[in-house]
Each structure stands twice: as C-alpha cells, then as structure tokens.
Amino acid sequence: MSLSWRGAAVAPDDEMPSPEAWERVSVPGRPTQFAGVEAVAYETTVPNRAEGHAVLVLRGAYAHARVWCDGDLLAESDSYVTPLRVRLPDAGHVVVECRAPEDRFGGLHDTDRLPPERCVPGIWWDASLETYPDPYVHAMRAKPRLTEDGAAVDVTAEIVTSEPLDDRLTFSVRPTGEVRGGGMMDRARVDTDAGLATVDHTIDVRDPSLWWPHDHGSQPRYVIRAKLGDAEYSLTTGLRSVGYDDGLTVNGEPVRARGVTLLDPTVEDVERAVAANANLVRVRAQGVPPAVAEACDEHGVLLWQDLPLTGPGGFDMDRGRDLAESFTDAIGHHPSLACIAVHDEPVRSYADGLGSGMLDRLRYRFRAWRANYDEAPAAAVAERIEGVPTFPVVGPPGIDPDAVTLYPGWRHGSVADLAWLRDHYGVGDVVAGFGAGSLGTDGSEVDAGIDDGRVGGDAADSQAYQAHVVQAVAGALRRRGSGLVVLDSLRDVADADTGVLTEDGTEKTAYGTLTDSYQPTQVFLSDPTPGDSDIVACHDRPSGATVTVEWDHNGERQQAEQVIGAFGRVTVGSLTLAAGDELTLAAAVGNRAVKNEYRIEGDI
C-alpha cells in the first residue's frame, strides 16, 4: 500500500521532530529543496485496518533513521542498505527522521564527489505499508552456497505471533522461468511464545542450475518461499560460488572481470555496462539500490560492493564490523555479489601533477612512503564478511592496497608509467580504478575531480584525450593479464567528470573505445605511441581457439593466424609506428569478429 508523505527540514536533536510547517514530497525520493540540510523529517498517516499486523517498510533510509508512531519511538537504523521493517500499532501518525551521516560511514554521499541533491537525507528506494495475518513471516534472509552434493541455501526467517505458537514453517525452493529441474520443499518447527522468533534452516538443492556471468553462461534463479499458515514471504536468489585465489573464480572456474565504476548507480547503468562488454560493476563507497542488484542478477553482471567508507581518517572498527555484517545479510542472496571492499582511497592523493622523469619517480616513492597507512582496522572489518572475497583496502600503489587505483596519463605522468608502477610496487592483479576525465559539453564547468591541465580545448579535444588514455591503459592491463580491471567511471555525475557517458547517458568518445577494449577476445598494440610495437591478441574465454588477426596500417594490410589457449595472450606481429599513423586491428574467432582502431600520436 502506498502512502502520502510530507517533509520538512529539521534540527538534528534527540526529540521527535515537530516542524512548524510541512510540504508535500515524493517518497521514495530525494527532495531537492532539502539539499545541504543535516536532517529531514517525513510524516504520513497510517489508515485503520480490520485485523492482523501492519508493517511500514523503508528501503534506503539514509543515513541514520528513526521512526515514531503517535509520539512513541518504534525503531532506529544506521544501515540504509538493510530494509527497515517497522511493526506499527493501530492507525496513527508516523514520523520518520533521516539524518546526514554522524560518523565516517557516509561514503561518497558524505563528500563533494556527488552533487548535494543526490545526498539529501531521505527514504531513497522504497516506502510501503504491508499488512499480514497473525502469525506471519516478518522477514527472511538467504545465502546460497555450493556443496559436494549440489547446492544449499542457508535461510533465516523471522516470525511474529500475537500468541504462543507451535506450528510448522514450510520452506520451498522453485526455479523461475525455464530453468531445468524441479522444486524442493522442507519444513521447520516453530515453537515460541508471543512476540518475535527467529528460525534458521538449510535447504538442500539437488541437481542445481548454476548462475554465471553473462559471458560465461546463463543466469538461472530460484524463488525461496517461507509459508506459515496463510502468510508467505519470498525472495529470489541464484546458486553459485565465488572466490579469489590468484584470480577471480565463479563456480570454481576462472573469470577475467572487466568492470566499470558506478558513482550514482541505476538499472540503466547496468544495461549500459553490459553493452560496453563489461561483466562487473563496482558500486563505489555506497550501498547498492535493490533494483540495481536485481539488474545485476538478471543481466549476469558481477557486483563489487563497497562499504560506505572513503577518504583519509580513522573509523570505529566495531561499527565497521556491524555494518559489514548488515551489508552481507541484506544483499547476500544476490548471486551477482562477487566481492566486498572496506576502505576506499584511505590516503590523500599524493601523485597529482608529477611527471615521468627520474626525479618525479623519486618524489612519487617518497610521497608514497610518507603516506603511512595502517591497514589493520580495514582488515579486521573484512574478517566479518563471509561467502565472498574481500578487498580491505582500495587505493594507490604505494600503500600496498588489496585493490589498486592507477591513473597514469591523467593524475600524473604518462601511460608509459603504468609498467613502472606495476613492477615497482607489485600491483595490478586487481585494479579498482583507472581512466581519465573529460568535458561533457563545450563550456562545461571543470569539476573538482577533473584535472584542468588535461582538458584544455573544447569537449571534443578533451574526450579524444580521455579515449586515448582509456584505450592505452585498458589494453596494457589486459595484455599483462590483470584478473580484475575496473574503469573509473561509467557515467558522469557532473558536467565534467571521469565517466565515458555524460550525466544523462550520452556516449562520449571513450565509451566506444572501452566497448572495443573490453571485448573478451581482442587485439592490442603493446605500445600505441611512435616507435616499435607488437600486436598482441588477448583471449579471455574458458576454452582455446584459433584466432585470425588482420591489421590495416595506413592502408597496407597484413594477416596472421594463431592458436591461442584459454585466457591466453599471443604476439601475432610487429610494427613500426609514426605520429599521425592510423591503424585498424581486427580479429575473428569462430563466427565472432572484433576490431580495435588506433590513431598514433605522441606520448599519452
């Protein structure tokens, strides 16, 4: 049942908000008139009901939320990814207060990286009133896993009853759509006094159909239902395992992940990522909206989830542990969930503006040494996360991160510095961010995240430079066999930003470049600058193939054929390049053909 809401900016204190005036607002949403305020109150009236239970369900109540009904405080929450399910008394006046972050766990929304209108304290994703008979299943969590005999789903169900209860809770698992195999049913005893009870149960799944990333297989899913009398609760999951040991694995098979960062994630962004040949999205330093996680499940896109912790500064480890557990409980049923990162960019950027010479590299090493980051708190938080790989620290090479961010040719130096960074610091297997920024349109105001020394000229010039950097770095990382690579970022959140799409989703030049660079089988130059360069074929598929490669260098064509193994790299030729040269590389494997176009300029 939908409700009518009003809102008001309020002072953040311990009392129930009582503003002098309310104004109508859309819930869910982020009312822009409240941008920049510390707390916003929302009020609604719950209608009478004949019998049973009424539950107010709030999803995405950012960042700290409290709920009153007729003046009584009923619930509080400090994890906006976890649905806030509030049992209500009879009909009454409901007030929800949402506050801006009061600790270090506000994520990107507590920085100037996102526009203020995207950071309004509010109920962002969903608000509804649900009614149930007595007794009923109040909530359910599920975590799938593979076993030696097939698969299993560990389920936790919460039961609410007004009277003592001795009954059976029926669990069922049934495939959706055209998934092969039948369903399963099991029962668990519920013996409890009046109030709230928790039931833990494991459902075994025989002959499971496994969920895969879209470039490795299909995405079968299962509906899990918990039924108690006339009441039922359901959620959708998928069966898979994911791990990281010298590379990412899904269902025990190696997967080369090609990803993009989402700064303000939407369902359309997931679809755009698939169109760009990405098989992973990183939701950076914020919670993933339920619709986005469901889109990842549906489209076969792996989900890299960050905790909402970014930037320098200490944090409360116990709070971090609790938040990590709440995240895995809330999204652990999504088969797309591939990994969780804890602390994003924990030191200030220390390489901005440095060049590529020997003295600048010495300066880089000194600044990296001076950064002095202690990874122990982030590692302690990561230990609370079960079922998926973790990357406790995401940051620049010099702090020994678990996942590195690399911006040569943009924040410092040139793309040629990438090899030095990888070799000197031993990083590059997991790359959480690379790329460059550009103007969205002529006359765009340069944003704080954009280096105005790199975006001179009009939008076309800056986008061309961005495309060169994206192509060169993506190609270098893939040639070197990086197992997990993420572009920063897919879509702009300002007029000038690091996205390969503008804020409204219009393609920049680099979007097409990324789409070519992210083809599972592709051909790259080892050095796309004047001089000698090898032509290297990369084949990120689980079985070998024969690849036919053709290159057109200023109108002169050559061709070669090579056998390439699973996830293999092979040099198929070499060239001497000069500034101004135009080169088209093409490859064919079976009935699939790809191309990669270069225009040779000076150092990038």
For residue 314, being part of any structural domain is answered with yes
pLDDT in tens, 263-309: 999 999 999 999 999 999 999 999 999 999 999 999 999 999 999 99
| pLDDT confidence band for 453 (50 / 70 / 90) | low
pLDDT in tens, 588-600: 998 999 999 999 9
Q: What is the mean pLDDT of residues 376-380?
A: 98
For residue 42, being part of any structural domain is answered with yes
pLDDT in tens, 25-83: 999 999 999 999 999 999 999 987 767 899 999 999 999 999 999 999 999 999 999 99
Domain boundary among 71, 102, 132: 132
pLDDT at position 602, please? 81
Beta bridge partners of 195: 161
Look up the CATH number of the domain holding residue 14.
Answer: 2.60.120.260
Please give the Cα distance from 550 to 559 (Å, whole number). 4
Q: 23 and 63 in one domain? A: yes
Domain boundary among 518, 552, 575: 518
pLDDT at position 581, please? 96
For residue 526, being part of any structural domain is answered with no
Q: 353 and 280 in one domain? A: yes
For residue 28, being part of any structural domain is answered with yes
Q: 425 and 345 in one domain? A: yes
For residue 313, being part of any structural domain is answered with yes
457: pLDDT strictly greater than 90: no
Q: What is the mean pLDDT of residues 545-571?
A: 96
Look up the CATH number of the domain holding residue 162.
Answer: 2.60.40.10
Nearest CA-CA partner of 544 in 590, 596, 480: 590
Residue with tokens 């002095």: 372
Q: Are 391 and 342 in contact (CB under 8 A)?
A: yes
pLDDT in tens, 174-210: 999 766 666 789 999 999 999 999 999 999 998 999 9
Q: 141 and 121 in one domain? A: no
Q: 269 and 397 in one domain? A: yes
12: containing domain:
5-132
For residue 392, being part of any structural domain is answered with yes
Please give the Cα distance from 101 to 115 (Å, whole number). 16
pLDDT at position 366, please? 95
Q: 212 and 197 in one domain? A: yes
Please give the Cα distance from 470 to 464 (Å, whole number). 10
Q: Are 53 and 37 in contact (CB under 8 A)?
A: no
For residue 581, being part of any structural domain is answered with yes
Q: Which of 49-63, 321-335, 500-514 has the lowest mean pLDDT?
A: 49-63
pLDDT at position 51, please? 79
Domain boundary among 99, 132, 165: 132
How many Cα atoms within 13 Å fall on the side-chain side of residue 242? 28
Average pLDDT of the chain to the nearest whole number: 94
Q: Residue 333: exposed, middle, or buried by beta-carbon count in 10 A (0-12, 13-18, 19+)?
A: buried
For residue 244, being part of any structural domain is answered with no
Look up the CATH number of the domain holding residue 542.
Answer: 2.60.40.3820
Q: 184 and 98 in one domain? A: no
Q: The pTM is what?
A: 0.97
Helices H / strands E in the chain, number of each: 8, 36
Q: What is the mean pLDDT of residues 354-380?
A: 94
The total number of structural domains in the chain stands at 4
Q: Are 485 and 477 in contact (CB under 8 A)?
A: yes
pLDDT at position 448, please? 42
pLDDT at position 496, please? 87
252: pLDDT strictly greater than 50: yes
Please give the Cα distance from 413 to 390 (Å, whole number). 30
pLDDT in tens, 105-131: 999 999 999 999 999 999 999 999 999
Q: 144 and 36 in one domain? A: no
Q: 422 and 285 in one domain? A: yes
Highest mean pLDDT among 146-150, 444-448, 488-492: 488-492
Q: 331 and 427 in one domain? A: yes
Q: 500 and 363 in one domain? A: yes
Q: 70 and 111 in one domain? A: yes
Q: What DSSP character marks residue 262? A: E
